[in-house]
Amino acid sequence: MDKIIRVNLTSGAITSEPVAEKYRQLGGRALTSQILFDELDPACEPLGKRNKLVFAPGLLGGSFLSSSSRISVGGKSPLTGGIKEANAGGTAAGALSKLGIKALIIEGESNLEYSQYLYVDKEKMELRPADIAGLGVYSAAKLIYERYGDKVSQILIGPGGERGYSAAGITNTDVQGRPCRYMGRGGLGAVMGVKGLKAIVLNPAGAEAISYHDRKAFQELNKELVKMIRENPVTGEAYPKYGTPAMATRTNAINALPTRNFSAGSFECANRIDGEYLYHVITTRGGEGETTHACMPGCVIKCSNIYAASDGKEVVAPLEYETIGLMGSNLGIGNLDDIARLNYLCNDLGLDTIEMGATIGVAMDQGLIPFGDADAAADLLAEVAEDSILGKVLGHGALVTGRVLGSRRIPVAKGQAMPAYDPRGIKGLGVTYATSPMGADHTAGNTIRAEVDHTDPKPQPELSKNAQPMSMIADSMGLCLFIMPALGAHLDKLALIYEYYSGVKVSGEDLREAAKKALNVEREFNRRAGLSPAQDRLPEFMTDEPLPVSGSVFDVPLEELRKINEE
């Protein structure tokens, strides 16, 4: 990965630059954040021409280590007003790596009346008029495949992003060509949309930029790592069979499953939306459904799934825990068919299911539609699709919707909706929501696996503080967080496999230090963008209103939260 591609949408210029020395040992999130820090005025408007989007595979991107080709995208977020990185599995990181692209920077803003897409293959890079503009991601992706064949990888946004909705994400295609692997958080789809870019088509045919410093050693160590992944109960058994939805039984048991706009932490229908039930439904229905599925080539965990209707036809893939928590229990909906349908609608519109689940939850709480009414929820998404005034409000996410509807129970941190862990039930994650430069983000430092009482406020700051750099390590190497239960305690092995890939000698400790440095870069960006420790907190309803059953409130003291970003 020896070049950085810069696409200026104002001028239409596309240039290739060598990778500057300071970027060589950065990848994924660390790289996108460093480039934004170096190139952006942190106070710029997120939807203005001064904001940029940076796409980057991680340091291990394109390698055959399992689960190592996640794609990161960074930009200033219209939701948090701070630096943002969102990442996903899928095929784009592998394609960029094959094309030798370490980072792809999208800057400026098109003045053309039509939107465009970027086409990249090993010989050319071109902006082309997007006749797919306005289409949902499923039909847009289909047309692109018809034109370029099924070997290309696509990065694209839906109508939500094109209209600049703050709840819009950016998706990329999975191994079978579904445009369903979302870099969902932070509203970065809107940033891409207002720039006038609908899609990026990566055609890696004939491109062979991936090389190994020591392929044989890589292969040997890889064997050992695969064995560790297979023998670990989390990565070898729970994720492959039940996937992320298995989390629902756990969060429900500790009173942390968002229910009816975060007004309860357990849901009476939890056992109809959890991993075991999903497994049961998929296996009894047969047809196109699959209980285990890889989102990227070479993943040995295969945590993903394909959800089929009772006629065996695919409804959506994957159906993940976050969507189940936010569009299921959080809406009082206890039926997987309904959740899958809402998931598909959000995907097609290019919207983050976490943000939209929280948004509809707030709308239900304010009496706009009743809890539990999946048809009414689908009608709200139809408003978004039609771009009605109500649809525009909803499309801007939970905070805007809550304000318009007069809610004082808006589950956001730094303007971004909370994922499917109530911070009163898992307080360590509450610390992460409050203090991560990313806003409310479960992937920025999840403490769920720690063997502590998750409602005891005392150990939580320390847990979150240690978890945040671990997430940064995974996000920077392009690793899926789900291999971390097996490999996270073996950073030296990860460092070594990186050395065999790149030739760069680093230690596990170096990886940790680099991660802390990258977090500091993000914090400094946010400080310059005007975010302050005053925003390192959770909404007052979560510190004031006890959850029923557990009686828990979020009571990690503010001084403790502040300390995390002081050092």
Partner 1 sequence: MLIKLRLHDILKEKVGAGRADGDGILKQQLRDGSTVNDLVVSLGLNREYVGLIIVNGRQAAFEFSLNEGDSVELFSPMSGG
The binder of 267, among ligand SF4, partner 1, none, by C-beta within 5 to 8 A per type, is none
DSSP line for 266-320: --TTGGGTSHHHHHHHHHHH-TT-EEEE-SSTT-SS-BEEEEE-TTS-EEES---
d(CA 493, CA 495): 5
Q: Which helix (H) or strand (E) holds 526?
A: helix 508-529
To which residue do tokens 């899609």 refer? 199
The binder of 282, among partner 1, ligand SF4, none, by C-beta within 5 to 8 A per type, is none
Q: Which helix (H) or strand (E) holds 510?
A: helix 508-529
Among 71, 228, 299, 315, binds ligand SF4 (CB under 6 A): 299
For residue 300, count other CB atoms closer than 10 A to its CB.
Answer: 17
Copy the structure tokens of residue 504.
């760069």
Site string for ligand SF4, 66-85 (x = CB under 6 A): -x------------------
d(CA 411, CA 359): 9
Nearer to ligand SF4, 296 or 487 (CB): 296
Shortest CA distance to 296 belongs to which of 55, 419, 30, 479? Answer: 479
Angle at 176 between CA 172 and CA 181, to 5 degrees: 25
Angle of helix 336-349 relative to helix 374-386, nearest 10 degrees, comes to 10
For residue 230, count other CB atoms closer than 10 A to its CB.
Answer: 15
Nearer to ligand SF4, 54 or 301 (CB): 301
**What length does the chain have?**
567
Instruction: Report in angstroms how near the CB of residue 485 gets to ligand SF4 at its nearest.
Output: 11
Instruction: Report in angstroms how near the CB of residue 132 gets to ligand SF4 at its nearest.
Output: 26
Nearer to partner 1, 240 or 402 (CB): 240
Alpha helices in 407-483 (DSSP H): 427-435, 460-477
**Using CB under 6 A, which residues numbered 473 to 512 contact ligand SF4?**
480, 482
The binder of 454, among partner 1, ligand SF4, none, by C-beta within 5 to 8 A per type, is partner 1
What are the CA-CA distances from residue 104 to residues 2, 36, 60, 449, 565 (Å)?
12, 12, 17, 35, 30
**Using CB under 6 A, which residues numbered 222 to 241 contact ligand SF4?**
239
d(CA 42, CA 50): 10
The binder of 480, among partner 1, ligand SF4, none, by C-beta within 5 to 8 A per type, is ligand SF4
What are the CA-CA distances from residue 131 to residues 57, 111, 147, 387 (Å)?
28, 17, 12, 20
Nearer to ligand SF4, 441 or 560 (CB): 441
Q: Which stretch binds ligand SF4 (CB under 6 A): 148-156, 264-272, 297-305, 450-458?
A: 297-305
At 564, the amino acid letter reads I
Nearer to partner 1, 276 or 383 (CB): 276
Nearer to partner 1, 208 or 231 (CB): 231
The binder of 112, among ligand SF4, partner 1, none, by C-beta within 5 to 8 A per type, is none
Question: How, if at all, do strands 153-156 and 101-107 pair?
Answer: unpaired
Instruction: Report in angstroms how near the CB of residue 510 gets to ligand SF4 at its nearest.
Output: 25
Instruction: Report in angstroms how near the CB of residue 562 gets to ligand SF4 at its nearest.
Output: 34
The binder of 242, among partner 1, ligand SF4, none, by C-beta within 5 to 8 A per type, is partner 1
The binder of 544, among ligand SF4, partner 1, none, by C-beta within 5 to 8 A per type, is none
Angle of helix 558-566 relative to helix 460-477, nearest 10 degrees, comes to 40
Q: Which stretch binds ligand SF4 (CB under 6 A): 9-17, 299-307, 373-381, 443-451?
A: 299-307
At 485, the amino acid letter reads P
The DSSP secondary-structure symbol of 100 reads: T
Copy the structure tokens of residue 288.
């196109």
Site string for ligand SF4, 255-294 (x = CB under 6 A): ---------------------------------------x
Instruction: Report in angstroms how near the CB of residue 234 gets to partner 1 at its nearest.
Output: 5
d(CA 362, CA 515): 35
Instruction: Report in angstroms how near the CB of residue 377 gets to partner 1 at its nearest.
Output: 21
| Contact set with partner 1 (CB under 8 A) | 233-234, 237-239, 241-242, 244-250, 253-254, 275-276, 320-322, 325, 420, 442-443, 446, 448-449, 451, 453-455, 481-482, 484-485, 549
The binder of 302, among ligand SF4, partner 1, none, by C-beta within 5 to 8 A per type, is ligand SF4
Residue 316 touching ligand SF4 (CB under 6 A): no
The binder of 527, among ligand SF4, partner 1, none, by C-beta within 5 to 8 A per type, is none
Instruction: Report in angstroms how near the CB of residue 426 gets to partner 1 at its nearest.
Output: 10
The binder of 241, among partner 1, ligand SF4, none, by C-beta within 5 to 8 A per type, is partner 1
d(CA 146, CA 373): 38
Task: Round the CA-based radius of gyration of the chain to a whole number and report it.
Answer: 22
Nearer to partner 1, 106 or 420 (CB): 420
d(CA 264, CA 269): 13
Among 31, 59, 60, 301, binds ligand SF4 (CB under 6 A): 301
The binder of 296, among partner 1, ligand SF4, none, by C-beta within 5 to 8 A per type, is ligand SF4
Nearer to ligand SF4, 480 or 515 (CB): 480
The binder of 250, among ligand SF4, partner 1, none, by C-beta within 5 to 8 A per type, is partner 1
Interface residues toward ligand SF4, by CB under 6 A: 67, 89, 239, 294-296, 299, 301-304, 480, 482
